[in-house]
């Protein structure tokens, strides 16, 4: 081997030593994982220690009118439909009752008769009647004169024995009978001249007034055969259909006043202790896409029934009363309808 050629071992010894390489991999994934773990842990702790929300459910309600009839009969026509908005005074139901119509016509006929009788009394006795009764009086007076002359002749004959006593008795009876006829004819003539008495006029006037009152009574029933809407409202239900027989007091149509809406809550008394009339809070309406509506408390009233039993003291448990709460929307919400649900977190309502 040539001495001038260095050996392999010598060449390796002469090369400089290599430095170890540094770790340049990114640490971002580790940081993100750590942050996620910390966030999960923080949310878990918050969920465990946070107070549980107390959701209270209410319901939208409105003033309702159960319109009933005051007369009986068959339903003739219902010109409104469910959901229809009606104005005050709009016709809701028409009832047919032929018997009442007949009574009204009969009462009008009685009134006509009573008025005719009153007019006859006010007009007094006809001149023809007065003349006829005067002639009857004169005939009766002439008969008395004749009967008196006959009696005088027979009486003189009887005194001298030229006439029997029986004939004298007949003449006496005839005279008395004709005298009584004169009295009767005179009374009839005076009655014809004087006309009707004050009492008869008062009776005739009373009969006319009674007939007018009877017509008004029947007319009031006829007026009730058409049922009208008391206020502007919406038809909620139709309880009857045309042709059905209805009695007084039976609800025919149910109306709701959409201008008088409120949210109704039933709360235990331990939840009402911090609530005051005039307090405002927001409620969520799921039917309106969870829209938040501000309402104001205007009524807090106790109810007769009880809420679910709950122990309030360890030594003396008792039931908690239920209170009815009415909260009215502060601003009008046209989309709000009765029956919609309303929710509020009672602890966070303010």
Cα–Cα dist 133/120, whole Å = 19
When pLDDT is averaged across residues 113-123 and rounded to a whole number, the result is: 86
- What pTM value is reported for the model? 0.57
Cα–Cα dist 319/306, whole Å = 7
Question: 305 pLDDT band (50/70/90 cuts)?
Answer: low
When pLDDT is averaged across residues 56-84 and rounded to a whole number, the result is: 90
| 150-186 pLDDT per residue, tens | 888 888 877 777 778 888 788 888 888 888 888 888 8
| 87-109 pLDDT per residue, tens | 999 999 999 999 999 999 999 99
| Backbone Cα Rg of the chain | 55
- In this predicted structure, the answer to whether residue 196 has a pLDDT above a threshold of 80 is no
Cα–Cα dist 309/314, whole Å = 14
Q: What is the mean pLDDT of the chain?
A: 81
Q: Class of 64-96+223-252 per CATH?
A: mainly beta
Which ranges in 195-264 belong to alpha helices (H)? 198-223
Q: Look up the CATH architecture of domain 55-63+257-348.
A: Beta Barrel (2.40)
- In this predicted structure, the answer to whether residue 349 has a pLDDT above a threshold of 50 is yes
Cα–Cα dist 182/322, whole Å = 95
Q: What is the DSSP letter of 338?
A: T
Question: 295 pLDDT band (50/70/90 cuts)?
Answer: very high
When pLDDT is averaged across residues 258-284 and rounded to a whole number, the result is: 87
Q: What pLDDT was estimated at residue 266?
A: 87
Of the ranges 59-63, 182-186, 190-194, 310-314, which is most confident?
59-63
For residues 317 and 119, the model is more confident at 119
User: How many CA atoms, within 13 angstroms, populate the side-chain half-sphere of residue 66?
Assistant: 5
Three-state secondary structure call for residue 295: strand
Q: Of the ranges 46-55, 78-87, 159-168, 270-279, which one carries the lowest mean pLDDT score? A: 46-55
The domain segmentation of the chain, as residue ranges, is: 55-63+257-348, 64-96+223-252, 103-220
| 215-266 pLDDT per residue, tens | 999 999 999 999 999 989 999 889 999 989 998 888 999 999 988 899 998 8
Cα–Cα dist 15/350, whole Å = 82
Q: What pLDDT was estimated at residue 312?
A: 47
Q: Of the ranges 8-17, 133-142, 230-239, 254-263, which one carries the lowest mean pLDDT score? A: 8-17
Question: 199 pLDDT band (50/70/90 cuts)?
Answer: confident
For residues 209 and 121, the model is more confident at 209
- In this predicted structure, the answer to whether residue 10 has a pLDDT above a threshold of 50 is no
Question: Which whole-number Å values give the CA distances from 78 to 72, 75, 138, in the listed order?
Answer: 16, 8, 74
Question: 15 pLDDT band (50/70/90 cuts)?
Answer: very low
């Amino acid at each position: 081997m040539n001495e001038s050629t260095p050996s392999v071992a010598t060449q390796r010894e002469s090369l400089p030593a290599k430095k170890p390489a540094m770790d340049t991999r990114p640490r971002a994934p580790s940081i993100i994982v750590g942050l996620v773990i910390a966030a999960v842990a923080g949310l878990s702790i918050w969920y465990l220690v946070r107070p549980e929300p107390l959701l209270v459910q209410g319901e939208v309600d409105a003033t309702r009118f159960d319109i009933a009839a005051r007369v009986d009969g068959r339903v003739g026509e219902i010109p409104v439909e469910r959901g229809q908005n009606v104005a005050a005074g709009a016709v809701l139901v028409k009832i047919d009752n032929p018997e009442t119509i007949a009574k009204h016509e009969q009462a009008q006929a009685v009134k006509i008769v009573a008025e005719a009788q009153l007019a006859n009394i006010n007009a007094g006795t006809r001149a023809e009647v007065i003349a006829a009764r005067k002639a009857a009086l004169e005939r009766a007076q002439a008969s008395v004169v004749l009967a008196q002359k006959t009696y005088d002749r027979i009486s003189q004959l009887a005194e001298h024995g030229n006439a029997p006593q029986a004939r004298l008795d007949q003449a006496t009876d005839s005279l008395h009978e004709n005298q009584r006829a004169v009295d009767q004819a005179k009374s009839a003539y005076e009655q014809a001249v004087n006309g009707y008495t004050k009492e008869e006029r008062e009776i005739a006037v009373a009969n006319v007034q009674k007939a007018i009152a009877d017509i008004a009574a029947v007319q009031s029933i006829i007026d009730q055969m058409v049922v009208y809407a008391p206020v502007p409202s919406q038809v909620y239900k139709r309880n009857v259909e045309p042709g059905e027989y209805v009695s007084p007091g039976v609800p025919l149509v149910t109306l709701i006043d959409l201008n008088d809406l409120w949210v109704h809550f039933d709360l235990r008394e331990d939840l009402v202790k911090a609530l005051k009339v005039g307090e405002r809070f927001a409620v969520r309406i799921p039917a309106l896409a969870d829209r938040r509506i501000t309402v104001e408390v205007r009524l807090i009233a106790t109810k007769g029934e009880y809420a679910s039993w709950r122990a309030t003291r360890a030594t003396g448990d008792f039931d908690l009363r239920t209170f009815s709460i009415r909260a009215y929307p502060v601003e009008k919400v046209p989309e709000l309808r009765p029956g919609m649900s309303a929710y509020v977190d009672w602890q966070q309502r303010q």
